[in-house]
Every structure is written in C-alpha cells, then in structure tokens.
Chains A and B, each alone.
Chain A
Amino acid sequence: MSNVAGAIQNVFNEPGCDKNVGKSEKERKKGCTKQLQPGAAAGGCAFDGAKIALQPIIDVAHLVHGPIACEGNSWDNRGAKSSGSKLFRTSFTTDMDEHDIVFGGEKHLYKSIKEIIEKYNPPAVFVYQTCVPAMIGDDIEAVCKSAAKKFGKPVIPINSPGFVGPKNLGNKLAGEALLEHVIGTEEPEFTTPYDINIIGEYNLSGELWQVKPLLDELGIRILACISGDARYHEVASSHRARAAMMVCSKAMINIARKMNERYDIPFFEGSFYGIGDMSESLREIARLLVERGAPQELKARTEAVIQREEARAWSRIAAYRDRLQGKRVLLITGGVKSWSVVAALQEAGMEVVGTSTKKSTKEDKERIKELVGDDAHMFDDMTPREMYRMLKEARADIMLSGGRTQFVALKAKMPWLDINQERHHAYAGYEGMVDMVHEIDKALSNPIWEQVRRPAPWETVVAEINKIA
C-alpha cells in the first residue's frame, strides 16, 4: 500500500494547478477532494476513475483484479468508441472468491494474465487493483513485473483501489501509471513537426471524430490521444510529440505537466466544447507547434479554417433562433464546462435561468457571470428536490444535465437532454455544438409534452365539480 500512498501524495502536489500552488504544505497533503459523507455521497470510486481514464485504449486487455462486483456490475457501460480493435469492450476479471481472500489472489492473477495473453494476445495487459486485494496485501506490481518478464509483454499495474478516494483521484492515479510504465517505452515509426498529444479526451460517443477531420485538414497529426481511440503503441510513443493539449479540466493534469518536465512537451489547457473554445484550442495548437518549429504559415491556415467553420456553425445555430427564442434552460453540468455551453445556447436565443457551478473554478464562475449577467443564477449545490420544484413550477423549459438527474426532469414532465459522459450524442467541436442545439430543439418541440401534461379525464371531472361546488 505504501506505493499507492506515495502516488497519492505525489498527485496531491500539483504545481501545474493554480489552486494547489496556493495551498500550504499541510493543506496540500489532504488533497483537493471533500471528505465523503456516509449516507449522503454520490459518485464513483478511484477504481472507477482509473478505468474511465484508461479503458478507451482500444487494443489493450483491461483486467480487473477483485471480486465480481467491481467489473461484473459495471462492464461495457461507458461510451468510448473505437475505430479499430474492440478488445477494450471485452471484460476480464479475476472474480476473486473466498479461497483467494484466505490464501491471497496473486497466483490467481498471474494465471489470469497468462490465459489472456494465450487467448487474446493483446499488445499489453492493464491490471487494475481494487479494494479487497489491496486489503489482503496482493502485490499486483510484483505480479505484473514477473508476468511481463515471463511473457515478454507489457503488463501494467494500475494501483487505484476504490477506497483511496473519488473518481477524480483515480483519473490521476491512472495517469501516474501511464507515466511510470507506458509513456516513453516505445518509439513512433516517424515523427513530423505537426505531432500533438491530446490528453484527457476519451472519445465518448465518438467526439474525437468531430475534431479530428479539422486537424487532418490542417496536417496536424494526433500522435496519441490519451486515451480516446488510442492504441497502446501510440500512448507508449507519445513522448515524441511536439505539443500537447490538456482536455477535461484538471483530470489528467499530471500527465501533461510531467510530460512537459520530462520530454519538454509544452501544453495548454483547452476544451472542444463550445464554438469559442474550439477555435481557441485550434489556435493554441497551431501556436505551440509553430513555437516548436513548425512552419509559420500553419497559423494563417488555422485562422482560415476557424473563420470558415465558425461562420458555418453560427449560421446553422442561428437558424434555430425562431424556434428557440426565449426558451429557458436549467444547466446542471459537471465535466462539460458550463460557460462554454452557455454561449451557444444564447446564440440560439435561449436564456440560461440557472447553472450549477459545483465543479467550476473561480475563473469559470467569472466567465459565467460575464455571460449570464449576475450570480443569482448560479447554484453551488442544487439538490434534486430543488431541481424538481423549479421544473414543476415551470421556471425552466428544459434541463440539461447528467444521467443521474434525468428522472428529476422527466418525472416533472419536462424535457431533458443528457450532456454527461454516458450520453449517446456527441457534442464536441463546431459540429457538436450545432448538434446540441438541434437536440434541444428536438426535445422541446416533441409533441408528447402537451399530451403527457394534460390531466386524465377523471381529473378534469373532479376539477369541474370542485369549481361548481
């Protein structure tokens, strides 16, 4: 366990994070997540976070060492898409039983790795530690090391058992595992001055493919996306990139920063959500590549693409104005940055009547204030009951949120759009924003709303009688 403890302290010390730098030594040791409240907690564990971060690597066998719960209750439930191998969707687990608990699960794990390599021959096996084997002291690092030696294949330990913390910590511990065991272990076939890494993008619903065609057009090559639609080899040779973009706020900041330190790869933090953000990200990619020696003309070409795509996107969104003018949106988001979505909603004529800022930084809040006007609409932590009341009283026309709260809206007979990680629609880049506005329009204009809100005939009769009486 000392290894995990060390890794955790390591990720708690993050000079790349402004918030972290502002803390005292003691505060920093506590980490950045709130203590979990028994009986009032929601959200995944560190193992869940590690799996989310790495499972999008498509050609790797992801083996979960633990009892059936960790994998059996949750497999094949994340929406990362692949353009090649489907092995990442095959579920592997040691399914530990009582015998393992009593005698230790290391041999069982070793045999499992052997079976996987014999049957599926993947370029690498990732082994995920979970709570029970961590408790009984299974040393997965030692097992992985000896299996790697024996089978001549990378076997990577991901030491992120669920009980060490929440999902976000698991994201970072997964990053540590890549830094320690994967990145820099292989070489790309060739390099170009246009090679970039995209860090923290998981290709959910295929969102990477809403962005990649534009990069292709500009001649920019994604050397590795960590980890959406990635091959093991790409991640292993990602240290030869010229520049990197870090997506999804701070989830994988440790990878970006340490790759900068170790391999001199400059990075910026950007987002593909929202039109302005998308343009800014393209601009930054071009700027960093030019800084690293790519021809100056890349910048002009990038500007031309931005101009073309922005104009096209805004005019497509404006086409919805007549239909969406004045519609009020309740925006409850975690991962997707509130303010970048707000701009697109406003362009389509909608009004944001409330937004959650639970996971937003101070900067985010400032930008929301700029866009929405005042902070009366910002909720730090809105309970489902409050959301329900707001919708039931028709103070909003639609709610945009994650799957957990969808029934709050639907049971209030109000339109709802999924904008979280399990969503089935892709909302990245210029295409994504237009699609999102289109989806909102589809949700709002569906003829069911008028029907489902109409009272039942017997309810009308009661109301009539009450009126007469």
Chain B
Amino acid sequence: MAKVLTSKKACTVNPLKMSQPVGGALAFMGINGCMPMLHGSQGCTSFGLVLFVRHFREAIPLQTTAMSEVATVLGGLENVQQAILNIATRTKPDIIGICSTGVTETKGDDVNGFIKLIRAKHPELDNIALIYVSTPDFKGAFQDGWAAAVNQIVETLVERPAHGVRLSRKVNVLPGCHITPGDIDELRDMIEAFGLRAHFLPDLSGSLDGHIPENFTPTTLGGIGVAEIRGMGSALATIAIGEQMRGAAITLEHKTGVPYRVFDRITGLSASDELMEYLSEVGGTPVPAKYRRQRSQLVDAMLDGHFHFGGKNVAIGAEPDLLWSTASFLTEMGCHVTAAVSSTGSPVLERVPTEEVLIGDLEDLEQRAANADLLITHSHGRQAAERLNIPLYRLGLPTFDRLGAGHVVTVGYRGTRNLIFEIGNIFMASAHEPGPDSWPVIDNPQAELVQLSGGI
C-alpha cells in the first residue's frame, strides 16, 4: 500500500510526463489508413512527430490544423474544415483522428459541432470516419490521452451486432499505451495458440513494428481496419491490458454487451498464469505444450536470476500502468522499490509495492534515487543516471538513444524471462569488485548494532 503524493513544486524540472494529445495521436496510429491530427498550433504536431520518429525510427503520419494566433481567437472551424479536406484529397485516408490541444481547449472550440457542419457541407467525406477526442495539454498525461482516444474510437465506431450474434472464437484486446508492438505480436501468438482470433485496438504491431512496405503511403501503413473495429461488438470477450483501458472496455460492453476482463499487468509469473488460465477458459482448450514449456523456462530464469535481484534497490519513473507492472515484477524478484515517480493519477498507484508514489518529475526521482542500484525510466533518465553514477534501464516512451524500442517484449512467460535476463545482466555488470579495504575493522560495534536494528 503506497501513499500517493503530488509534487508541491512550482517548477517542473526534467519532465517525466508527456502530454495527452500525443498519447491520443499514437492510439490513432494503430488504425490502418489513418491520418491522426492535432487541432492546435503547428508546433504541437511537430514536437509529437519528432518524439515518435526518434522512438520508433519510422515515418510518422501526423497532421496539424496549423492554428495561427488570429484563427485561435476567432475559432478553428475554418482550419479544421480545410485540414480535413486537404487530408482527404492528398492522402485518401479511411479515418482521420483529431485530438485537441491546450490552445484550442482554452479557446473552447466545439470540434464535434464543427464536424457536423463539415459533414453537412461535404457529402464527399461520407466514407471517411472522423473522430474527435478532447485531450487538453493542461490536464492528465500521455496515458490519459491514449485511453481517451481508444474510448472515443469505441464510442464512435463499434456497432451492435445484428441479432446479437457472437462469434465463439473472436476476442477483442485493448492494449494500454505501455504495450509495445513486440508485446502485441507476442500476445497475438498466445491468444491464437488457444484457437482464438484476436482483434487489437489499437494495433501498433501492424503499423509501427518497423517493416518494409511495398509502397510509399502518407497515412498509417497497417493496424486494425475501420471495418474490423465496427465489428468488435460480435466478439466473445474483451481483454483490457492496463487499468487505463478499463473505461474503453466498459464502453464496449455498454454498447454491445461483450463482457470484459481487465488484466492490470501481464508481466511476472503469477500475472502470466492468470492470463493463461483465462485464455484456456475462454478458448475451452488446455494450455498448449509450448506455453507449459515457456513457464518452466521462466521458473528456471527466476531461480538463476534471483541471486542478482535479491535486496537490490530500484528507482522507477513511469506512467501508472507501466510503473505498477514493473514495480510488481521487481518486488516479486526480491528487489526493493525505493523510489517511484509517476505522471498522472490512477487507481493502481496506491497498490504499487513501495512506501510512497509521487506524481512528479525526474528531478524528484533523481533526488530519491541516491541509494538506488538501478534507475528505470525512459531515455530522459540518462542525465540523472550519469550524475548519480548508477545504471539506467530504459523502459517506456520515449526511448530515443537505443535501437529496437518497438520490439522490447516484457509480457507473458517469455517476455518476463527476457526482462529477468536484461535487468539481471545490468546488475551483474555493475556488481562491485571486492578490494583489500572492503571489510574494514569497525571502531564502535555497539553503535553499528543500533544503526542496523533501525535499518531492518
């Protein structure tokens, strides 16, 4: 049970947090033939674009309504309309996903109203889905923007199946923004092994997994199709991964009656067991031999690895669901989470196995990480790690100074095994070599004992 505090500082130093609109935009990037767009100044888009290019090392489709000062004051109807028409003619998308920003929210643009007017005037847009989601920069964080966008996509697109027909082998998966394209591939394999067919919303494994397309396209190249989303109501069940996806799962159930189950994490032995059990139940088949073997490998990795994890102090800075998942895994391996900083509020924070979770920044994390053996956060932790002279394990977005961020797999038995090896290797590499002065004679054993009993 952790105490959840919010930083009292006026000035944020070295932000952990990123803004809602870019989280929303990333969710739209998991839809095929999509052009995500931020309704704001062109800088809002430019910063988001560079962020994703550096993380995924892929071309990123992301447009802007290019609001000028005057347009902002007068309202953005004209810019939104012109942007939609321009995108429609230039890139011929199936769907345009619009996220608001700080400027247009401060002004109070009624974008849903704009879309109605634009639709009435331009019937040629009828076959393009237009989705608007409110994601003010001055509220919440990246994870909230992602969750809001997925919720809005479900709300707008998913249809009630005709005659309430359900397909017995079809499941929906709503992955949180901490689930990488590599994780999605891994999950799809797992689900298919039970004879089930998985539909991921969003599906970054199709669009941002780093593949070579046959042709050049200005929109997203892969991901879940719009028709596929509309049909999600005919699934047998919905699996939501991360607490952040609960809202979208509930919306889906309300609209279509598809029952859902939230897995707040799927990293670690017990968490993976739970998922396997559930899939076996839904699929009506026993757990395949492949995963029994993988479980056994994970158990072995835990045995081999625990020597290096036991008693280590770890400081983690991550968005709520990633923090919860990572801190739980490390605690299960024998580490102490001695510092935990997150970006935004969430019900999972108070369950994080540590004394205190601070909604704050990387300066806070750095101050609390002085006695840590390992720092875990995104690439922006590199300066802190250097100053503290402790290793950094990069986890989360953005990871811009390492290759393969999209293919990091930490879910299920195999993903957990990977994570044990990766982090265990860091612990091994930074183990202290003993020297002749490592065990000095103590002058005052009594005082030492007092100190020890206080520390235990």
Residues of chain A whose beta carbon lies under 8 Å from any beta carbon of chain B: 1, 36-48, 63, 66-77, 86, 89-98, 100-101, 108, 111-116, 119, 131-132, 134-136, 161-166, 384-385, 388-389, 403-404, 407-408, 411-413, 422
Is B218's beta carbon under 8 Å from chain A? yes
Beta-carbon contact of A70 and B47 below 8 Å: yes
| Residue of A whose beta carbon sits closest to that of B83 | A39
Given the interface pairs A68-B137, A98-B138, the reply to whether A38 lies near B51 with Cβ below 8 Å is no
| Residue of B whose beta carbon sits closest to that of A412 | B216
Beta-carbon contact of A73 and B48 below 8 Å: yes
Given the interface pairs A73-B47, A77-B50, the reply to whether A100 lies near B138 with Cβ below 8 Å is yes
Residues of the B chain whose Cβ atoms lie less than 8 Å from the Cβ of A113: 11
Complex alpha-carbon distance, A194 and B44, angstroms: 43
Interface residue from B15, B41, B84 paired with A95 (Cβ < 8 Å): B15
Given the interface pairs A44-B46, A45-B46, A93-B11, the reply to whether A411 lies near B212 with Cβ below 8 Å is yes
- CB interface residues, B 63-88, toward A, < 8 Å: 63-69, 71-73, 79-80, 82-87
20 sample A-B contacts, Cβ–Cβ < 8 Å, listed by A number: A39-B37, A39-B63, A39-B64, A39-B65, A41-B45, A43-B46, A44-B43, A44-B46, A68-B141, A69-B44, A77-B400, A92-B12, A115-B11, A132-B103, A135-B106, A162-B42, A163-B103, A165-B68, A384-B59, A412-B216
Beta-carbon contact of B46 and A42 below 8 Å: yes
New A-B pairs, 4, CB < 8 Å, besides A38-B82, A385-B216: A36-B68, A41-B66, A72-B15, A111-B10
Residues of the A chain whose Cβ atoms lie less than 8 Å from the Cβ of B67: 38, 163
Q: Within the complex, what minimum Cβ distance (angstroms) separates B82 from chain A?
A: 4
Complex alpha-carbon distance, A164 and B68, angstroms: 6
Q: Within the complex, what minimum Cβ distance (angstroms) separates B36 from chain A?
A: 12
Q: Within the complex, what minimum Cβ distance (angstroms) separates B441 from chain A?
A: 40
Q: Within the complex, what minimum Cβ distance (angstroms) separates A83 from chain B?
A: 17
Residues of the B chain whose Cβ atoms lie less than 8 Å from the Cβ of A101: 106, 138
Given the interface pairs A69-B21, A75-B380, A76-B380, the reply to whether A47 lies near B106 with Cβ below 8 Å is no
Residues of the A chain whose Cβ atoms lie less than 8 Å from the Cβ of B137: 66-70, 132
Residue among B14, B58, B139 with the highest chain A CB neighbour number at 10 A: B14
Complex alpha-carbon distance, A411 and B216, angstroms: 8
Given the interface pairs A91-B14, A163-B68, the reply to whether A135 lies near B51 with Cβ below 8 Å is no
- Which 4 pairs from chain A and chain B are nearest by CB? A45-B43, A39-B83, A39-B86, A112-B11
Residues of the A chain whose Cβ atoms lie less than 8 Å from the Cβ of B205: none
Beta-carbon contact of A407 and B63 below 8 Å: no
Residues of the A chain whose Cβ atoms lie less than 8 Å from the Cβ of B42: 36, 41-45, 162, 166
Interface residue from A68, A90, A422 paired with B19 (Cβ < 8 Å): A68
Beta-carbon contact of B102 and A66 below 8 Å: yes
Bitwise interface map of B from 177 to 213 toward A, beta carbon under 8 Å scored 1, else 0: 0000000000000000000000000000000000011
Complex alpha-carbon distance, A119 and B10, angstroms: 12
| Residue of A whose beta carbon sits closest to that of B51 | A73
| Residue of A whose beta carbon sits closest to that of B67 | A163
Beta-carbon contact of B138 and A135 below 8 Å: no
- CB interface residues, B 204-253, toward A, < 8 Å: 212-213, 216, 218
Beta-carbon contact of A135 and B380 below 8 Å: no
Complex alpha-carbon distance, A42 and B218, angstroms: 13
| Residue of B whose beta carbon sits closest to that of A66 | B102
Beta-carbon contact of A73 and B22 below 8 Å: yes
| Residue of B whose beta carbon sits closest to that of A135 | B106
Is B128's beta carbon under 8 Å from chain A? no
Residues of the B chain whose Cβ atoms lie less than 8 Å from the Cβ of A67: 19, 102, 136-138
Given the interface pairs A132-B103, A135-B103, A411-B212, the reply to whether A71 lies near B72 with Cβ below 8 Å is no
Complex alpha-carbon distance, A89 and B14, angstroms: 9
Q: Within the complex, what minimum Cβ distance (angstroms) separates A36 from chain B?
A: 4
Is B54's beta carbon under 8 Å from chain A? yes
Residues of the A chain whose Cβ atoms lie less than 8 Å from the Cβ of B11: 63, 92-94, 111-113, 115-116
Q: Within the complex, what minimum Cβ distance (angstroms) separates B26 from chain A?
A: 12
Residues of the A chain whose Cβ atoms lie less than 8 Å from the Cβ of B18: 68-69, 72-73
Q: Within the complex, what minimum Cβ distance (angstroms) separates B142 from chain A?
A: 9
Is B170's beta carbon under 8 Å from chain A? no
Beta-carbon contact of A96 and B138 below 8 Å: yes
Beta-carbon contact of B72 and A135 below 8 Å: yes
Given the interface pairs A75-B380, A408-B59, the reply to whether A69 lies near B102 with Cβ below 8 Å is yes
Interface residue from A95, A384, A422 paired with B12 (Cβ < 8 Å): A95
Complex alpha-carbon distance, A97 and B57, angstroms: 31
Residues of the B chain whose Cβ atoms lie less than 8 Å from the Cβ of A135: 72-73, 103, 106-107
Q: Within the complex, what minimum Cβ distance (angstroms) separates A31 from chain B?
A: 11
Q: Within the complex, what minimum Cβ distance (angstroms) separates B22 from chain A?
A: 6
Residue among A91, A101, A113, A162 with the highest chain B CB neighbour number at 10 A: A162
Given the interface pairs A38-B80, A69-B102, A72-B18, the reply to whether A407 lies near B59 with Cβ below 8 Å is yes
| Residue of A whose beta carbon sits closest to that of B362 | A91
Q: Within the complex, what minimum Cβ distance (angstroms) separates B215 from chain A?
A: 8
Complex alpha-carbon distance, A119 and B79, angstroms: 43
- CB interface residues, B 366-403, toward A, < 8 Å: 380, 383, 400
Interface residue from A91, A112, A384 paired with B15 (Cβ < 8 Å): A91
Residues of the A chain whose Cβ atoms lie less than 8 Å from the Cβ of B46: 42-45, 48
Q: Within the complex, what minimum Cβ distance (angstroms) separates A188 from chain B?
A: 31
Is B17's beta carbon under 8 Å from chain A? yes
Residues of the A chain whose Cβ atoms lie less than 8 Å from the Cβ of B218: 384-385
Beta-carbon contact of A131 and B103 below 8 Å: yes
Is B53's beta carbon under 8 Å from chain A? yes
Q: Within the complex, what minimum Cβ distance (angstroms) separates A421 from chain B?
A: 11
Residues of the B chain whose Cβ atoms lie less than 8 Å from the Cβ of A90: 13-14, 383
Residues of the A chain whose Cβ atoms lie less than 8 Å from the Cβ of B90: 39-40
| Residue of A whose beta carbon sits closest to that of B216 | A388
Complex alpha-carbon distance, A42 and B400, angstroms: 21
Q: Within the complex, what minimum Cβ distance (angstroms) separates B449 from chain A?
A: 38
Given the interface pairs A36-B68, A68-B18, A408-B59, the reply to whether A162 lies near B383 with Cβ below 8 Å is no
| Residue of A whose beta carbon sits closest to that of B63 | A39
Residue among A73, A96, A131 with the highest chain B CB neighbour number at 10 A: A73
Is B9's beta carbon under 8 Å from chain A? yes
Is B101's beta carbon under 8 Å from chain A? yes
Beta-carbon contact of B106 and A162 below 8 Å: no
Beta-carbon contact of B82 and A68 below 8 Å: no
Residues of the B chain whose Cβ atoms lie less than 8 Å from the Cβ of A98: 136, 138-139
Bitwise interface map of B from 11 to 35 toward A, beta carbon under 8 Å scored 1, else 0: 1111101110110000000000000
Residues of the A chain whose Cβ atoms lie less than 8 Å from the Cβ of B49: 404
Complex alpha-carbon distance, A254 and B222, angstroms: 47
Interface residue from A41, A93, A161, A407 paired with B64 (Cβ < 8 Å): A41
Residues of the B chain whose Cβ atoms lie less than 8 Å from the Cβ of A111: 10-11
Complex alpha-carbon distance, A295 and B12, angstroms: 52
Complex alpha-carbon distance, A410 and B303, angstroms: 43
Complex alpha-carbon distance, A411 and B19, angstroms: 30
Residues of the B chain whose Cβ atoms lie less than 8 Å from the Cβ of A94: 10-12
Complex alpha-carbon distance, A70 and B21, angstroms: 12
Complex alpha-carbon distance, A329 and B40, angstroms: 37
Q: Within the complex, what minimum Cβ distance (angstroms) separates A446 from chain B?
A: 16
Residues of the A chain whose Cβ atoms lie less than 8 Å from the Cβ of B41: 45, 131, 162-163
| Residue of B whose beta carbon sits closest to that of A1 | B69
Residues of the B chain whose Cβ atoms lie less than 8 Å from the Cβ of A96: 102, 138
Beta-carbon contact of B213 and A411 below 8 Å: yes
Beta-carbon contact of A39 and B85 below 8 Å: yes
| Residue of A whose beta carbon sits closest to that of B50 | A77
| Residue of A whose beta carbon sits closest to that of B64 | A41
Complex alpha-carbon distance, A404 and B50, angstroms: 8
Complex alpha-carbon distance, A456 and B380, angstroms: 39
Residues of the A chain whose Cβ atoms lie less than 8 Å from the Cβ of B22: 69, 73
Q: Within the complex, what minimum Cβ distance (angstroms) separates A340 from chain B?
A: 26
| Residue of A whose beta carbon sits closest to that of B139 | A98
Given the interface pairs A38-B66, A39-B65, A70-B43, the reply to whether A93 lies near B15 with Cβ below 8 Å is yes
Beta-carbon contact of B59 and A69 below 8 Å: no
Residues of the B chain whose Cβ atoms lie less than 8 Å from the Cβ of A388: 216
Given the interface pairs A38-B65, A69-B19, the reply to whether A97 lies near B43 with Cβ below 8 Å is no
Q: Within the complex, what minimum Cβ distance (angstroms) separates B394 from chain A?
A: 14
